[in-house]
Structure 1
């Protein structure tokens, strides 16, 4: 594997690890900074998470558009340097408002997945794009696995230790990228920067005009909302239904992350050879409807644990869909497209947790019409089914 690709995969993995590294220690850190109760800390934790996702939504297209104009290399390297500094600020922060400001900056620097995807699109032939986007998905999955595990271990050395580790990892990768990352944006594909196409609303409006791309963005959005049921609900669902311990919940999520990495990093290639990109998207949607339905009704914790890695099999949807959309735009619009997809994902991360947790409360709380803790997974199955219908009617340009 070429060193620039290694750098891109490490950058994406750090985006996922950086979040997971600090998750185990955030409740203790917020109580330490505020001197308040766990309930108050949880409230502020939600505010910080929403702020982080909102910044990704707003700045994903901006960074993508900047990379189309000035190149992928400066955007990626500068973001890593600022990310390292941001984690150092969080490591010494003594007030909730300083943490809040740091999460704003952190959300902006973490919006570079659009630029990483654009770089991968630049160096990939049309036939390689889906598989290479799968590598990015696998890297994100591995970061999702290792982040909480490493963060939990480092938390034993104090509430600030994970932040110093995250800063060190970001800085080290910036140095690595400085020496190995080559620029892929040349005069042939360089595009002037325009503010109207560097914000999420303007870029959605423009891209939606391209033949068949608007429906694909809708499909991508509904998939992201449905998929976010896992981080939003999994811990509450398994505790309510099977009384799983934190260790068991963490183990099951790690198992899910490993399975996702295997699917997007390896299995996607034979699936694409057999089904093609369009067939892979259809297969993934059908499989997701089945998996979400089974999770919603499963009555045994052992069966749910068996289902957990199987739930990653539909993960071919994202790279296959990204590849189809990447082929639907010009070479000088790759950063713009990937920025839009980053904003779509961030918007889903803003909306889905609120919706899914409300549905869970509505069907498990004291006023629930019927007791149904699996209701959020049924909702996800419905969303996936709707997305499949939209996809079947879409006819993107090539």
Structure 2
């Protein structure tokens, strides 16, 4: 493997570690800054704010990297992230934390630039494997990050931010001294209309049969946001977990999910078919969520992890089904639409789930997971509708 790829993979892993460091300590940090016990709405706002800036600026950073080159955009975003985490480490006021999370979302949008860099330096026959390695490195970072963040946060609440700043500084040094430019910049004028993140959705809803598919992706993306928004709060309220145990639980889930994603989607799709693989994944998620809702001891959460992770077989199966619904020339446009749908879910869902958790927090914190089951239940008929519509619109076999 050539040196630029190693640098990109190392950078994305360190970036994911830096992001994951923050999750275990966020509830206690907000309590310290706001002097309030009801910090659930603040977590929802911070999570949504991060998603908004990522959603808005991902197309802009991609377009800038086409015009100015991949390397300068990566360097600026990595440097900005390092400075931002230092500021957040010592931020005494809530508005500074909000601003920091918004800037973190902006700088994390450089993932699209990293993907473009890999595309530039990879021949077509090697791209699938390298994108798989890219996702694996990102997943590994999210396994390490929460565990390390919980451990550091128990020593000093602001220490994970310092660690995130150091990791981003290492990223910056790697890119500065080792990473070459991957393409010749075009220097052409940027089309401002192309930066509109909602633009791809117009095309999608003009295509017959795509609306239910997009809604399924939106719902699956929304359910995923419940864990990032409420997991740490629920662990503290239900089991009195400290930062280390929150990090260990997130890390254990990451390990199980990575194994499932790497090994099972292909065999599950061959055995069940794409439609029933999605339904089976949703069913496994719902079984685990019921167990979590009624769990009263922390070991029960770790025991249910393997079943919970089996939910991961559904999304790849549905993704494979979706790729056959448009012609090859429109694949990139379709993937952009699906990414937009997931990004929109990342904006709306944290606000909704944090509101629900605020309502149920004192009487029954585990009830939040029953609300996720309700959202999953809406997805099931849409899965059947989208797959039935697709089959009926395909030409009959000779």
TM range (shorter): 0.7 to 0.9
Separation (CA, whole Å) in 2 of partners of 1:132 and 1:90? 34
Q: Distance in 2 between matches of 1:363 and 1:30?
A: 19
Question: Paired residue for 1:295, among 262, 284, 288?
Answer: 288
Shift of 1:59: 1.5
* Aligned partner (choices 106, 114, 135) of residue 116 of structure 1: 114
Q: Determine the C-alpha separation between the residues in 2 that align with 1:156 and 1:289.
A: 35
TM-score by length of 2: 0.76
| Native 8 Å contact 2:221 2:345 kept in 1 | yes
Q: Which stretch has the larger CA shift, 61-70 or 222-231?
A: 61-70
Shift of 1:330: 7.7
1:63 maps to which of 45, 61, 69: 61
For residues 45-194 of structure 1, the aligned pairs below 5 Å read 45-121=43-119, 123=122, 125=124, 129=128, 132-181=130-179, 183-184=181-182, 193-194=190-191
Aligned to 1:385: 380
Separation in structure 1 between the aligned mates of residue 385 and residue 19 of structure 2, nearest angstrom? 32
Question: Cα RMSD between the aligned structures?
Answer: 4.2
CA distance in 2, matches of 1:158, 1:339: 40
Partner of residue 263, structure 2: 267
Look up the SS of the partner of 2:193 in the other structure. helix
Task: Give distance in 1, aligned partners of 2:43 and 2:357.
Answer: 19
Gap change, CA 1:290 and 1:372, over 3 Å in 2: same
Moved more, 45-54 or 20-29: 20-29
CA–CA distance in 2 between the matches of 1:177 and 1:25? 29
Structure 1: gaps (5+ residues)? none
- Which residues of 2 match residues 216-295 of structure 1 at below 5 A? 216-235=213-232, 243=239, 245-246=241-242, 248-264=245-261, 266-267=262-263, 271-272=265-266, 275=269, 282=275, 284-295=277-288
Distance 2:245 2:205 in 1: 43
Q: Is the 8 A contact 1:54 1:350 kept in 2?
A: yes
* CA shift in 2, pair 1:62/1:389, >3 Å: farther
**Is residue 113–residue 342 contact of structure 1 (8 Å, CA) maintained in 2?**
no
- Distance in 1 between the 2:115 and 2:323 partners? 10
Distance 1:37 1:106, change over 3 A: same
State the alpha-carbon separation in 2 of the partners of residues 237 and 228 from structure 1: 14
Alpha-carbon distance in 2 for matches of 1:68, 1:331: 20
**Structure 2 SS opposite 1:38:** coil
Distance in 1 (CA, whole Å) between partners of 2:385 and 2:349 is 20
Compared CA separation, residues 376 and 325, structure 1 to 2 (3 A): same
Unaligned runs of 5+ in 2: none
Q: Count the aligned residue pairs.
A: 384
Please state whether the residue corresponding to 2:22 is helix, strand or coil.
Answer: helix
